[in-house]
């Protein structure tokens, strides 16, 4: 208590002393009896004592109050708030201390608010990440993990924080990887299969400096879809090679036979050349279908036309008429309403052609194929192709749209199938925002139903 506060107290004490001395001087210079003087001096002494007590009482009460406020403010740090953010300047040290503490309180509050906001933002980002995030301390206890990780690990307990990593992610390899990162301080990578969810993850771990020493953080990327695509690509390459190998070996085999002398074998040479030709046609068909598929998959948009469904159906029927006659299958055009859709005409015609060709190929002599087109209750165009053919077993139905999937490989090959026809149909229809459905009764027949968004022909040229 130095400076102005001390000066004020000193002034108060001096004023009290001066008042006491003045009162004593006044009393002593009066012609009073000694007993009266004693009595007055006692009175003056008692009054000054009372005034001194009064001053001490009021000063200490005000000081105690202000110090208590400061104490409360200091104790509430960080982030504490001054009751009065701008305390009045009383010109003494306490008041200055109070003002600067109030200023610090405002600053720390801002800092705490910023930190809170930052940490909430980070928390929100981490929790909404599709990658699983997991942080551990040096004892391999979890300090943080997000929802994606808990989902990947199929963890159903509460509060994973504080648990050992193996209690949450039951994968010893992940635990070992984190232990290695903690021991070496070097990042590590690992591919792991999550138990329970049958998904594959690529985990990347790196050291993480924490206030309690070195920890580690791991990020788990779900690569299941990527892996599946990789597998689909591998299968596709294997399938294509396989599909090409059979006709190619036929061509090479019969060409060798001809070269080895069969050219002169008048009874067989023509037949051998026909086999070579048939195999070459098959190769060419596969190549053509693969080309169409790759164009459809690459998303290269063919020109969009306003297409007349009647035109498409009649065109496709004319193309397959000869084949139907040859196989003694009766083609029946039921009611085909005058409807229109948007899309690539050649592609839609190709799709309807594939469906009609299948309905004829997988039919029996004397069988029927019926086609009709109408508008359904939701205003969509529905094309229905029904046959009385061999039908498809229900277990095969979900797979017939896959590339190279054939229920009966030998029969498909015999009728010149590539196994790509229905994949093309599905792609074409889906690219036109349509859908295709199939129903079948084994031994009795199959119905394919295509539904497409209808188009309004007003004012547009029709193809
Ligand atoms: P494919 O070139 O063999 O016809 P698709 O992709 O067009 O190839 O058809 C796949 C398979 O689905 C066929 O091999 C056949 O087993 C079956 N399938 C397709 N359409 C019919 C149908 N209308 N009736 C019976 N089976 C069919």
- What is the reported pTM? 0.61
Using CA atoms, how far residue 13 sits from 6, 40, 185, in Å, is: 11, 21, 70
The fold adopted by the segment(s) 129-222 is: Beta-Lactamase (3.30.450)
Tell me, using a 6 A CB cutoff, whether residue 390 lines ligand 1.
yes
Paired tokens of 214: 């070195």
Is there a contact between 192 and 201 (Cβ–Cβ < 8 Å)?
yes
* Complete DSSP assignment for 41-77: HHHHHHHHHHHHHHHHHHHHHHHHHHHHHHHHHHHT-
Give the residue among 102, 95, 98, 103 at the shortest CA–CA distance from 4.
95
Using CA atoms, how far residue 419 sits from 238, 290, 293, 395, 416, in Å, is: 14, 10, 12, 17, 9
Tell me, using a 6 A CB cutoff, whether residue 387 lines ligand 1.
yes
Kindly give, in sequence order, each residue whose CB lies less than 8 Å from that of residue 208, ignoring residues fewer than 6 positions away: 135, 214, 215, 216, 217
Kindly give, in sequence order, each residue whose CB lies less than 8 Å from that of residue 138, ignoring residues fewer than 6 positions away: 182, 212, 213, 214, 215
Mutation test of ligand 1: which of 400, 436, 439, 450 has the most ligand atoms closer than 8 Å to its C-beta?
Answer: 400
Is there a contact between 87 and 52 (Cβ–Cβ < 8 Å)?
no
Kindly give, in sequence order, each residue whose CB lies less than 8 Å from that of residue 336, ignoring residues fewer than 6 positions away: 309, 310, 313, 314, 371, 372, 373
The fold adopted by the segment(s) 305-452 is: Heat Shock Protein 90 (3.30.565)
* Ligand 1 center from residue 391 Cα (angstroms): 10
Tell me, using a 6 A CB cutoff, whether residue 82 lines ligand 1.
no
* Ligand 1 center from residue 366 Cα (angstroms): 19
Please report the sign of the dihedral spanned by the C-alpha atoms of residue 156, residue 157, residue 159, residue 162: negative
Which atom of ligand 1 lies at the shortest distance from residue 359's CA?
Answer: 23
Paired tokens of 30: 């009066």
Q: How far apart are CA 431 and CA 341, in angstroms?
A: 12
The fold adopted by the segment(s) 226-298 is: Helix Hairpins (1.10.287)
Give the residue among 378, 369, 377, 393 at the shortest CA–CA distance from 448.
369
Paired tokens of 144: 């943080």
pLDDT tens, N- to C-terminus, the chain (463 residues):
446 777 878 888 888 888 888 888 888 787 877 888 888 888 888 888 898 888 888 888 888 887 887 788 777 776 656 556 666 777 777 778 888 888 888 888 888 889 999 988 988 888 888 899 999 999 999 999 998 888 888 888 888 899 999 998 888 999 999 999 999 999 999 998 877 677 899 999 999 987 778 899 999 999 999 998 898 889 888 988 988 998 999 999 999 999 998 888 888 889 999 999 999 999 998 999 998 888 888 876 666 889 999 999 999 999 999 999 999 999 999 999 999 999 989 899 999 999 999 999 999 999 999 999 999 888 899 999 999 999 999 999 999 999 888 888 777 777 778 889 999 999 999 999 999 999 999 999 999 999 999 988 775 555 5
Paired tokens of 323: 């084949």
């Amino acid at each position: 208590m130095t400076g102005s506060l001390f000066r004020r107290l000193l002034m108060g004490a001096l004023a009290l002393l001066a008042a006491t001395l003045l009162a004593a001087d006044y009393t002593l210079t009066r012609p009073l009896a000694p007993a009266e003087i004693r009595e007055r001096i006692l009175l003056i002494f008692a009054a000054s004592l009372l005034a001194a007590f009064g001053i001490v009482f009021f000063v200490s009460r005000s000081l105690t109050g202000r110090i208590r406020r400061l104490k409360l403010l200091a104790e509430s740090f960080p982030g504490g708030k001054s009751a009065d953010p701008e305390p009045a300047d009383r010109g003494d040290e306490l008041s200055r201390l109070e003002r600067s503490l109030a200023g610090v309180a405002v600053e720390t509050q801002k800092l705490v608010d910023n930190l809170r906001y930052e940490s909430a933002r980070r928390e929100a980002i981490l929790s909404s990440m599709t990658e699983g995030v997991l942080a551990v301390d040096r004892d391999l206890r979890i300090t943080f993990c997000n929802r994606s990780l808990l989902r990947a690990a199929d963890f159903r307990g509460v509060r994973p924080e504080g648990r050992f990593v193996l209690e949450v992610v039951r994968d010893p390899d992940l635990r070992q990887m984190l232990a290695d990162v903690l021991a070496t301080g070097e990042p590590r990578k690992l591919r792991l299969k999550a138990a329970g969810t049958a998904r594959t993850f690529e985990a990347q771990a790196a050291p993480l400096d924490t206030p309690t020493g070195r920890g580690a953080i791991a990020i788990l990327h779900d690569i299941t879809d990527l892996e599946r695509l990789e597998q689909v690509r591998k299968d596709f390459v294997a399938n294509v090679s396989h599909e090409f190998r059979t006709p190619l070996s036929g061509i090479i085999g019969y060409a060798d036979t001809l070269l080895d002398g069969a050219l002169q074998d008048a009874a067989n040479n023509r037949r051998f050349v026909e086999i070579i030709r048939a195999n070459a046609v098959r190769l060419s068909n596969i190549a053509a279908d693969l080309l169409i598929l790759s164009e459809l998959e690459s998303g290269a948009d063919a020109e969009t036309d306003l297409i007349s469904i009647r035109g498409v159906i009649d065109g496709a029927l004319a193309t397959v008429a000869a084949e139907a006659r040859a196989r003694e299958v009766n083609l029946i055009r039921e009611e085909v309403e005058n409807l229109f859709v948007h899309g690539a005409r050649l592609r839609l015609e190709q799709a309807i052609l594939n469906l009609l060709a299948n309905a004829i190929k997988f039919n029996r002599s004397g069988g029927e194929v019926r086609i009709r087109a109408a508008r359904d209750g939701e205003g969509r165009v529905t094309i229905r192709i029904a046959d009385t053919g061999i039908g498809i077993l229900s277990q095969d139905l979900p797979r017939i749209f896959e590339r190279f999937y054939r229920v009966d490989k030998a029969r498909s090959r015999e009728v010149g199938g590539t196994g790509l026809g229905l994949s093309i149909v599905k792609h074409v229809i889906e690219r036109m925002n349509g859908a295709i459905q199939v129903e079948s009764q084994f031994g009795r027949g199959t119905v394919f139903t295509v539904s497409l968004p209808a188009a309004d022909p007003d004012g547009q040229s029709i193809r």
